[in-house]
Amino acid sequence: MSLTEAREIGTEAVAAEADEGARRAAAPAGWRWRHVALGLALPVLIAVAWELAVAFGLVQGRLMPPPSRIFATLYDLAAQGELWRHILVTLGRVAAGFGLGVAAGTLLGALAGYSAAARQFLDPTLQGLRAVPSIAWVPLFILWFGIFEESKIALIAVGVFFPVYLGVMGAIASVDRKIVEVGRVFRLTPAAMVRRILLPAILPSYVIALRSGLGLGWMFVVAAELMGASEGLGYLLYDGQQLGKPDQIIAAILTFAVIGKLTDSLIVLATRPLLAWQDAFAAR
């Protein structure tokens, strides 16, 4: 690739970024609210249909309580302070496990993606461990860390680690060779190559890996909170099952869904400025 071609590529990229910024700035202000309303349409329709099915006797209300009973249960738990206590405990566990899993997954994924020797050394073992079911780690972590917070956070970190590791490794290994050649033409230092070429190239895949890891973190926290926990949304699920309270079980599931969606949206919002340069089909 000649220096002239490299400069042309850079000029086209800058022009595309400017066009994308202008297009987004011209978007109507009410677009975001319509987007939110459209996203809420399906759960609202399901809730209304569910309530009507119970009211007309099409569904047994004892085992499938209507949304009105579920919201009443949520209100009672919130009024007593129980719901907020369980939410905060679970959020703290997921945050700690997510941080540890992301740090380890990013480090080892970058190492395996950048170095073929490291990939051949690390990847077979990690791929084997990835196939181990989450519940299989529970007795081992209890033996190692006891039944307190350490074992729960470790289990969540394991769930977060693997999608982040795979996402980072795959993104680095699949970076377009021509982009790297552009950096070499401009004689970028290794640090500048990472900062200006590799990081922007892998960032979209890295964001997806973070979102996947967070989703698994919320799944693993349920198994973690069955390890002798007396607080948390997973405990609330187990308590509802033990006491035969389907409304409490579904209320806990809905709380998981809402908080999981909110935390996922936080990642999307936090990383959106870093991906503003993309001229992707989904952004149109």
Residue 157 is part of which domain span?
66-283
In a domain, 12, yes or no: no
- Tens digits of pLDDT across the chain (284 residues): 554 554 454 455 444 444 544 454 444 546 667 877 888 888 889 889 988 988 888 877 777 888 889 999 999 999 998 899 999 999 999 999 999 999 999 999 988 987 889 899 999 999 999 988 878 888 888 888 888 888 899 999 999 999 999 999 988 888 888 887 888 888 888 778 777 788 888 888 999 999 999 999 999 998 888 777 788 898 898 888 888 888 899 999 999 999 999 999 999 999 888 777 776 666 55
Sign of the C-alpha dihedral computed for residues 247, 253, 254 and 259 taken in this order: positive
Element (H, E) at 55: helix 31-55
Same domain for 100 and 30: no
Clarify whether residues 45 and 99 are in a common domain: no
- Torsion sign (Cα): 137, 139, 144, 147: positive
Residues 85 and 44 both lie in one domain: no
100: enclosing H helix or E strand:
helix 82-114
The model carries a pTM of 0.80
- Half-sphere exposure for 207 (CA within 13 Å, toward CB): 17
Q: Is residue 15 part of a domain?
A: no
In a domain? residue 36: yes
Is residue 258 assigned to a domain? yes
Are 180 and 87 contained in the same domain?
Answer: yes
By CB atoms closer than 10 A (0-12, 13-18, 19+), residue 158 is buried
Q: Which two tokens stand for residue 84?
A: 């907020």
Taking each continuous run of H as one helix and of E as one strand, the counts in the chain are: 12, 0
Residues 157 and 195 in one domain: yes
Please tell me the total count of domains within the chain: 2
